[in-house]
Amino acid sequence: MTTAPPRLTDQPAQFLRRARATTSDPGAMFLRKLAFDEIQERLELVNRQFTKPAIVTPFPEIWTKARPDAKIIADTDRLDLVRGAHDLIIHDLCLHWSNDPVGQIIQCARALQPDGMFQATLFGGQTLTELRSALATAESQITGGLSPRVAPMAEIRDLGGLLQRAGLALPVADALTQTVTYATLDRLMHDLRAMGETNVLHARLRRPTPRQVFEKTAELYADNYADAQGRLRATFDIICLSGWAPHPDQPKALRPGSASHSLAAALDELKMPSKD
C-alpha cells in the first residue's frame, strides 16, 4: 500500500491567488517572462522540430502566442497528460509548489514519446534568501517562534537525481540567478502577490501575523541587504532542468573500465616542454 505524499500546498488558496495575479499587475510577471525566454533559447539550440508539445503552466497567456499548437495543462497533482502523446513537455515555473515533484516529473516522462524532451523551470534554494532570513529573525524575536512561510525549494545538486529517478536520460540541471532591487519591502511583497507567489503552504499560519513582525522584518532587511543606494536586494534562483525520454539512438556513457586508453597516458602525451 502506497502512502500519499504530505500536502505541501493549499491548492484552493493557490488557485485563488493566481487568479488575482493575472489581473493585478502584468509588469510583475517579469520573472515568468525571463523563464519563458530561457526555455525558448534552449529549445532553439536543439536541432529538432517539436510538433506535439504540452505545457504545464499556471499562466497559459504567456505561452499561447509562441506555442499555439501546444496542449496547455494545469499544474494539478494529477496532470492531464496521455501516455506517449508528446514529443516535448515544458513544466513552467511551478514545480516548487508541487506536493510531489518527483511524481510530476514521472507523469511528464510517461507522456513523452521515445526521444521526447522534458524542460522545466522552478525556483531554487537561493530564492528570496534575504527575505527568508529577515522574516525568520523578526518572527523569532517578536513572537518567540517560527511559522511556515516559504515553500521548501530544492538545491540544484539534488535535481539532476530527480530526473534520473523519473526515468529520463541525459539529465541536465543548471541555474539562472537574478538579483532585483526594490525601494521598499512593500514593493517586493507587491510583486510576489502579483506573480501569485505568496504563502499558500498548507501548514501556514491561519491567523493574522502581528504588524510588529513585518516592521522588524523591514528594519532587518534594510540593515543587512540594502545596496549603496539604499535599495533592497532580492535574489531569485531559477533552476532549469532538461532530460530526454530514453531512445536507443541516444549517446550513452561508457561502462566504467571500458576505456581503451588511460587518462594518465593521454596527459603524458600532452605534457608541455618546460621553459628554460
Distances 87 to 50, 79, 80, 119, 196 between C-alpha atoms, Å: 6, 16, 16, 11, 29
Helix axes 211-225, 185-194, angle to 10 degrees: 110
**Percent of the chain beyond pLDDT 90?**
59
Per-residue model confidence (pLDDT) at position 256: 47
CB count, 10 Å around CB of 66? 12
Per-residue model confidence (pLDDT) at position 275: 44
Tell me the pLDDT band of 268, cut-offs 50, 70 and 90. Answer: low
Q: Per-domain residue ranges for the chain? A: 11-252
Domain 11-252 -> CATH class? alpha beta
Per-residue model confidence (pLDDT) at position 94: 93
Cell 521526447 belongs to 116
Q: Tens digit of pLDDT for each residue in 80-119?
A: 999 999 999 999 999 998 888 899 999 999 999 999 999 9
**Percent of the chain beyond pLDDT 70?**
86
Q: Tens digit of pLDDT for each residue in 110-128?
A: 999 999 999 999 999 899 9
Cell readout for 8 is 505541501
What one-character-per-residue DSSP string does 17-59 give?
HHHHHHHH-GGGGHHHHHHHHHHHHHHHTSS---SSEEEE-S-
Per-residue model confidence (pLDDT) at position 272: 44
User: What is the rounded average pLDDT of the residues 49-61?
Assistant: 95
Q: Tens digit of pLDDT for each residue in 116-163?
A: 999 999 999 899 999 999 999 999 999 887 777 766 677 777 777 889
Per-residue model confidence (pLDDT) at position 91: 98
254: helix, strand or coil? coil
Q: Tens digit of pLDDT for each residue in 183-234?
A: 999 999 999 999 988 877 777 777 788 899 999 999 999 999 999 999 999 9
Per-residue model confidence (pLDDT) at position 110: 97
Per-residue model confidence (pLDDT) at position 173: 92
